[in-house]
Amino acid sequence: MPILQTLNKGRVPVHIWTGDTESQALDQLANVSQLPFIHHHVAAMPDVHAGIGATVGSVIPTKGAIIPAAVGVDIGCGMNAVRTSLKADDLPESLRQLRNGIEKAIPVGFDMHDRDPVKRSVITSLAGGLDVIVDKHPGIRKMQKQRPYHVWVRQLASLGGGNHFVEVCLDENADVWIMLHSGSRGIGNVIGRYFIDLARRDLAERLGSLPDRDLAYFTEGAKHFDDYVEAVGWAQDYAMINRREMMHLILAVMAKHLPPFSITKEAINCHHNYVAREQHFGADVFITRKGAIRAGDGELGIIPGSMGAKSYIVRGKGNADSFCSCSHGAGRRMSRSRAKKLFNQEDLVQQTAGVECRKDVGVVDEIPGAYKDIDAVMQNQTDLVDVVHTLKQVLCVKG
């Protein structure tokens, strides 16, 4: 299906892959399109919804500038998935014990491991890069309430909160998959907030001329630009390693509870909140994907639904108009506060029937009804991706 809506309220157009976009999101997209360094156009994916400053589900190409708030504070947040040799019949009738095992192995929320959870070589490599960043910006260390080293190391291989999750899924062939969603944890949040504030201070004299103060930016060659590129790159690497190491722990838990198995499909590990240098429409640009994944020609990606809906393994078509991108999920159709007012525990139980997961009021804001229809989202991006596998979760661990 082609682009469903084009917004022309700024210097460049905004191409939108849905006809159902809330007014606040449209305003945010229009604001971004007014910035002087946007290249060619802005793309909005079919799961688009309002965020902070920049819209979730947007792809923003910039020449010589980066907007830290567009990348966000969960830098490098993304997905990881592997297919196993297990079949549906290999799973026990009750998955409660398996869920308990995963929840015991993977800290959620603000929790962290009691000891260093990964190899010393991994920690040493990450520590060297972080030391360089913090030496130039000691304020990053001051923003952490606990001992910085203790926090970022012990939070490796942990889930976090919000919409982060671990799922066991079945595909159309009854093959068992493990899929997870997480990012750069507390250290990524601190780096994100620090540089967002720094961009506002650097641009203080011109902040009032911006359509939104959350669109404060660093320009290439100016003070702090290179430092932000270095810091955001480190946080993206941390997020990738966090997902990889978490997957190792989950596989170890499954090995204890299930028949012997092997990995039958290479792991897909992809960001959906990040910035990268790419070439589009004849120019070298910084591409910020805020709630979008790269979908280059032949590239595999993951598009998850909600707790009670389908998810998809997809292959990108390299659509130039989307800057080789697609949606990162179903996308919220209402805020967390509204979901808590509109739904109750009984609704959650009904909408997650057949899924071994938390069904208490603490996760009502993650109820499937708070999200867009994943089937409609997928229908709106048939020109961006092909579906390779359709997954349905049977177990979900929420942060």
137 is catalytic: no
Give Cβ neighbours of residue 247 (< 8 Å, ≥ 6 apart): 80, 82, 178, 180, 267
Structure tokens at 296: 């280059």
What are the phi and psi torsion angles at 101 (to 5°)? -65, -40
At position 292, the amino acid (one-letter code) is: A
What are the phi and psi torsion angles at 20 (to 5°)? -120, 85
* Beta-strand runs (E) in 188-271: 218-219, 263-271
Q: How many residues are present in the chain?
A: 399
**Marked catalytic residue, from 49, 164, 328, 389:** 328
User: ∠121-123-126 over CA atoms, to 5°?
Assistant: 110
Q: How far apart are CA 301 and CA 385, in angstroms?
A: 9
Check: CB of residue 347 under 8 Å from CB of residue 282.
no
Give Cβ neighbours of residue 265 (< 8 Å, ≥ 6 apart): 82, 83
Structure tokens at 178: 């493990």
Give helix 96-105 / helix 225-257 axis angle, nearest 10°: 140
Q: Where are the alpha helices (DSSP H) in 12-119?
A: 23-33, 68-71, 96-105
Pairing assessment for the beta strands 263-271 and 56-62 based on DSSP bridges: unpaired
| 36 SS3 class | coil
User: ∠116-118-124 over CA atoms, to 5°?
Assistant: 85
Sign of the Cα torsion 100, 237, 233, 315 reads negative
Give Cβ neighbours of residue 148 (< 8 Å, ≥ 6 apart): 134, 140, 141, 187
* Beta-strand runs (E) in the chain: 5-7, 14-16, 42-49, 56-62, 65-66, 78-87, 165-170, 175-182, 218-219, 263-271, 273-280, 283-290, 292-294, 300-303, 310-316, 325-327, 385-398
- Catalytic residue set: 328
